[in-house]
Structure 1
Amino acid sequence: MTQLNFTVDMKKILEDISGSNLNEMTKGLLTLVLNQVMQEERDEYMGIGSYERNSSRKDYRNGSYRRGFTTLVGKIELEVPRTRSGEFSPQVFEKWQRKDQALVLSLIEMVVSGVSTRKVTKIVEELVGESVSKSFVSNVMKRLNPEIQDFAERSLTHNIFKYVSVDAMYIKVRENHRIVSKAVYIALGIGVDGHREVLGFKVDDAESKNHWGHFLRDLKNRGLTQPELITSDSHQGLKQAIQEEFPGTPWQRCTVHFLRNITNVMPKKGSTVARQLLREIFHTTTPQHAREAKEKFLDFVSEDPRFNHAVEILESGFDDAIQCLMCPAARQKFLKSTNALERLNSELRRRERVVRVFPNIESAFRLIGALLLDANEAYKETNRKVSAFVEAKE
């Protein structure tokens, strides 16, 4: 009988399958993949493969046991490998369900708080089984809270982050029997090794200079050194906080938001050419080329009063929107906007929409923290570097 050997990226397959709309056939594939991942985990733990003999082995294999594993797409039955000492425990359950556990816990807290609907209750039952016990809630909290807190408070001295993006999104939280808006502050950095990293996050009251200042000071206290550029939208309080906390660091106004602000006040009819000329300003690679493109746009619309407001916005924010053009050309497309952070926010929104209203601020911190922690680990595990930012070795 011929033996087939093949190598696959188990982590990528697992992520792709877990995020898809599974039917019975693909559930079977997921079961197969997870079982293989756990077998590899046990081999790594023991330091020796099947049927190998080595005096340095840590333990002995002791078969497996069946365990139900509930995912967002239904329940599957797994063969969990075990060892003779009983000390081995697969990490697959923790690693691939952290964000799901946080989501489940948020929904459960809604049920416990009496603010849920039948729909929420049904979701909880589908996620965790027929019933939810107090011990389940307690165990998940004990497991997730310290991990997420450590992530939020970790040192940032392990890398030098020369480029930082910051942004805030808003969520709904129940507080003192009222539903209020809370801001989620997030910072994303690119290190000299080319890797992205979630630098910090915070759930707090609405954006202001004081709140942004406190968030940025926390990043500094944890080891963030003076960045070469900070990219964000044009919130006035944020701009002032950046100037105070990182004096001398240029501020890059997100060109995506800036262009949107301009085009929103331009006439919808008869403006096709003007819009193209406007976009060309931000497709240049040097400040001089950007100024020349701006003058070309201004000359084209100078006789049309319908563009007066657009011109005012462009003039007032132009210099802040071309700060990235002082950086190497290969890096500019990553620095001119907060797109990477917006994509991260989209994933947060996808989960936040399920909860809709968080039962308390702790629940919001837990779910958002779990999602960001998973995203941060994904940045590391994929080994994808933004090559334009890798510092050349002398």
Structure 2
Amino acid sequence: MSNTTLRKNQKNQLNNTGINQQKLRAFAGELAKDIHTQDDLAELSASLVKMTIEAALGAEMEHHLGYAKHEQNTQDIDISNNTRNGYYPKTIKGSHGEVEIFVPRDRSSSFETIIIEKGQTRLGSFDNQILSLYAKGMSTRDIVSTFKEMYDADISATLVSNVTQAVITQATEWRNRPLDEIYPIVYLDGIVIKVRQDKQIIKKTMYIALGVNLEGKKECLGLWLSKNESSKFWLGVLNDIANRGVKDILIACVDGLTGFPEAINAVFPQTDVQLCIVHMVRNSLKYVGYKDRKQVASSLKQIYQSISEDEALLALDEFEHRWGDQFPSIGKSWRRNWDNVATIFAYPKAIRKAIYTTNAIESLNSVIRKSIKNRKIFNHDNSAFKVVFLAIEAASKRWTMSIRNWPQAMNQFIILHEDRLKDYV
């Protein structure tokens, strides 16, 4: 049996060890009698961690040698001369603070622990806490101070950097993973961030592609970083998505960037392009004063919530008649982009809701903006990638349900695009 197989079997046996909940509650009740302050609780927590880890290490050594401590070795001849050889101290950091444990060793130096691996000085939950704080936008210095204040654990800025640096490998694998062959809806958007580069602070765009798969569940397809948002760079993003397996997108929801629809159709010729209604409304209201904003927004709503394109064009005429003299640029903008605004009117109500509300991408953007709010300026591109990736990873854990009204929308998609979906549903 190989060492790898042996370690897997050993780990499975340890994982399958049950804990008697009734005895555990009784034990906890006894311990609670001596807890009077938070310091007492912290001290008990550290002691329990020490006792539990050392007991687990002892069980691992017993399994490795094949006999319990103080019992005779009855194992095969190849390890019959191997015995326990004392302990060595090791300091472990975690939410309990710093605790010194004693790790058993054997004479042949063949014992390798699973609970605390070689070179490990922190419990896994400790790293997870660092990553969680980093994802919330805390700086390396802030995280060091937080652990000192909360756990009285001295950690270095280098340690925090090393823990978060491991995220880059994970993010790289994620960004290169294969994708589904078809997505009914893909939202394409960008968020502006500030990064230090060549001793200057420059603005860059974090490109985000959020897909809705055939099950109606959200899936971030990737992240890309470049300078100013451009249709040329988006063309590269779309080619990357295609190279990772995507063959077709039914609807792409985008902002009003010049040349964007052409870039999409260059890679996915059959894709319907829908300008994001949220972006259209937001841009329209940009130069509207506060006292008129509510009424202008209500008039715009009559356009994009119309039943048909003819009704929408009539609503646009009425909008320009009422507001054209005061805000002439708004009506011109809607007419200039009408071909890609009117895509929604080719689809039934169930699909329209999934398109024009754009709750999916707006919700994700909100998570990302919250994570980068405290940073304001990133020291390098990788720092920005780490924070945004961790924020998306945390958000994606909640994407367990399909978006609202998806069954109805999917039924309509199947009717409208039967030839494109027949091999997938």
> Normalising to structure 2: TM-score of the pair?
0.63
Matched, 1:312 2:340: no
Q: Which runs of 5+ in 1 are unaligned?
A: 1-41, 53-62, 65-74, 112-118
How far 1:122 sits from its partner (Å)?
A: 5.2
Please state if 1:46 is matched with 2:29: no
The amino acid of 1:136's aligned partner reads: L
Residue of structure 2 aligned with 1:293, choices 315, 327, 330: 315
- Between the aligned partners of 2:252 and 2:216, the Cα distance in structure 1 is 16
Q: Which residue of 1 aligns with 2:379?
A: 359
Q: For residue 231 of structure 1, report the CA deviation from its aligned partner.
A: 0.6
Cross-structure match for 2:354: 334
Match of 2:241 among 219, 236, 240: 219
User: What is residue 384 of structure 1 aligned with on the other side?
Assistant: 401
**3-state secondary structure, aligned to 1:378:** coil
After superposing the two structures, state which structure 1 stretch, 357-366 or 317-326, moved more.
317-326
What is the CA distance between 1:48 and its match in structure 2?
Answer: 5.9
Alignment-derived partner of residue 143 in structure 1: 166
Q: CA deviation at 1:123?
A: 6.2
* 1:175 equivalent in structure 2: 197
Task: Give distance in 1, aligned partners of 2:129 and 2:237.
Answer: 29
Once the two structures are superposed, residues 111-157 of structure 1 have per-residue CA deviations (whole angstroms, 9 ceiling, x without a partner) of 6xxxxxxx898568658966443651464145322212111211113
Who is 1:323 aligned against?
343
Deviates more, 1:337-346 or 1:259-268: 259-268
Matches within 5 A, 1:1-394: 46-47=15-16, 49-51=18-20, 83=56, 84-85=59-60, 87-88=114-115, 92=125, 98-101=131-134, 107-108=139-140, 131-133=154-156, 136-137=159-160, 139-141=162-164, 143-157=166-180, 160-265=182-287, 275-300=297-322, 305-379=325-399, 383-390=400-407, 391=410
Q: Name the SS for the 1:234 alignment partner.
A: coil
Letter matched to residue 379 of structure 2: P
Residue deviations 1:261-294, cap 9 Å, x none? 3344557767876653332111234334323433
Shift, 1:176, TM fit: 1.3
Cα–Cα, structure 1 residues 173 and 196, in superposed 2: closer, same or farther, change >3 Å?
same
CA pair 239-132 structure 1, distance change in 2 beyond 3 A: farther
Shift in CA distance, 240/87, structure 1 to aligned 2, threshold 3 Å: same
Q: Measure how far apart 1:245 and its partner are.
A: 2.1
Instruction: Judge conservation of contact 2:216–2:403 (CA < 8 Å) in 1.
Output: yes
**Which has the larger Rg?**
2
2:333 partner amino acid: I
Amino acid at match of 1:321: V
State the SS of the aligned residue for 1:172: strand
CA-based RMSD: 3.8
Matched AA of 2:139: L
Counterpart residue type for residue 87 of structure 1 = I
- Offset at 1:92? 5.0
Q: Say if 2:190 and 2:207, in contact at 8 Å, map to a contact too.
A: yes
CA contact (8 A) 2:210 2:361 kept: yes
* 1:276 aligned partner, one-letter code: S
Alpha-carbon deviation of 1:173? 0.9
Relative to structure 1, the CA distance from residue 330 to residue 95 in structure 2 (aligned partners, 3 Å threshold; closer, same or farther) is farther
The normalised TM-score by structure 1 is 0.68
Separation of aligned partners in 1, 2:338 and 2:311: 13
- Structure 1 pair 205/237, CA: closer, same or farther in 2 (3 Å)? farther
| Letter in structure 2 aligned against 1:98 | L
**Aligned partner of residue 236 in structure 1, secondary structure:** coil
**Aligned partner letter, 2:403:** V
CA contact (8 A) 1:262 1:310 kept: yes
| Cα-to-partner distance string for 1:142-198 (whole Å, 9 max, x where unaligned) | 5322212111211113x6311000111111111111111111000101111110011
Q: Percent identity?
A: 24
Contact map agreement 2:308 2:345 (CA 8 A) in 1: yes
Q: Partner amino acid for 1:150? A: E
Alignment partners' CA distance in 2, 1:386 and 1:92: 32
* Cα distance in 1, alignment partners of residues 299 and 309 from structure 2: 16
2:212 touches 2:218 (CA, 8 Å); kept in 1? Answer: yes
Unaligned runs of 5+ in 2: 1-10, 22-26, 29-41, 61-112, 117-122, 415-424
Structure 1 residues 121 and 328, CA gap change in structure 2 (3 angstroms): same
- Are 1:253 and 1:321, in contact at CA under 8 Å, matched by a contact in 2? yes
> Does the C-alpha gap of structure 1 residues 93 and 389 become closer, same or farther in structure 2, counting only changes over 3 Å?
farther
Q: Which has the higher contact order (CA 8 A, sep 6+)?
A: 1
**Structure 1 93/224 Cα, relative in aligned 2: closer, same or farther at 3 Å?**
farther
CA distance in 1, matches of 2:232, 2:13: 49
Secondary structure of the 2:269 match is coil
Partner of 2:31: none
Worse-superposed segment, 133-142 or 312-321: 133-142
Helix, strand or coil at the partner of 2:179 = coil
CA distance in structure 1 between the aligned counterparts of 2:151 and 2:375, rounded to whole angstroms = 16
Taking structure 1 as reference, are residues 269 and 365 closer, same or farther at Cα in structure 2, changes over 3 Å only? closer
**Using a 3 Å threshold, how does the CA distance of structure 1 residues 266 and 366 change in structure 2: closer, same or farther?**
closer
Compared CA separation, residues 138 and 316, structure 1 to 2 (3 A): closer
